[in-house]
Copies of this chain bind each other. A is one copy, B any other.
Amino acid sequence: MTDSKKVRRTSGKRERLATAAAQVLHAQGVAQTTLADIAQAAEVPVGNVYYYFKTKDDLVEAAIGAQAENLRGMIAALDELPAPAERLKALLAGWVEQRELTARYGCPTGTLASELDKRADGLDRSIATVMRALLDWAEQQFRAMGRADARELAVALIASYQGISLLTNTFRDPDLMTAEAHRLERWIDSLTEGPTTGDDDARE
């Protein structure tokens, strides 16, 4: 009733839960993660979770939202760079930086998509939205590089990332990520060099 209570509106617990959920779900997978796991990670009593999230799926959705937020932040940072090719290569660098985490748990977005796509919930659409945002951004970069086949190139790039993340995780070998990133870097370079109007998408 007092103001002091009104001021710290949600006391940040909701956000804390979403962040914890994102981390734990990435590390353990949706099915293997219990509400208690997330509650514990967020240092919130289990019963209290339901004040903020009506159901477990709601919490998963919030975790997806947290991931979307992360992605937005990353993209914003990349957009600071002047040239589109530079931005894309900075994206690659970020992937390489995360390679240890990827080797252990895979790409956060990809593993979530893979698991949720088997469900009839709306959750599968939520994660698709996040994936599409990344795709759209990449497409913009390729378009800014003057490529008419920007969408196709964007799909190819993100697919390569998702796939190498899977392999990196499957074989628990972060070096796979490093090598593929280098390959993709050279590929991006090759796209800018040639006459931009051609269909020069040969990957090597």
Contact = CB atoms under 8 A, between A and B. Distances in A.
B128 A117 contact: no
A76 interface: no
Interface residues of A, number: 50
A114 interface: yes
A117 B110 contact: no
17 contacts: A28-B118, A30-B31, A110-B166, A111-B118, A114-B115, A135-B167, A152-B180, A155-B164, A156-B180, A156-B203, A160-B160, A162-B166, A163-B165, A186-B201, A187-B204, A190-B203, A191-B204
Contact of A167 (B118, B159, B164, B203): B159
Copies, count: 4
Given A155-B167, A163-B164, 5 more contacts: A155-B180, A156-B203, A160-B163, A162-B167, A163-B163
Given A152-B179, A183-B152, A159 B170 contact: no
A105 B113 CA distance: 11
A162 B159 CA distance: 7
A34 B179 CA distance: 39
Given A114-B106, A114-B110, A169-B114, A190 B163 contact: no
Interface in A145-204: 152, 155-156, 158-167, 169-171, 176, 179-180, 183, 186-187, 190-191, 201-204
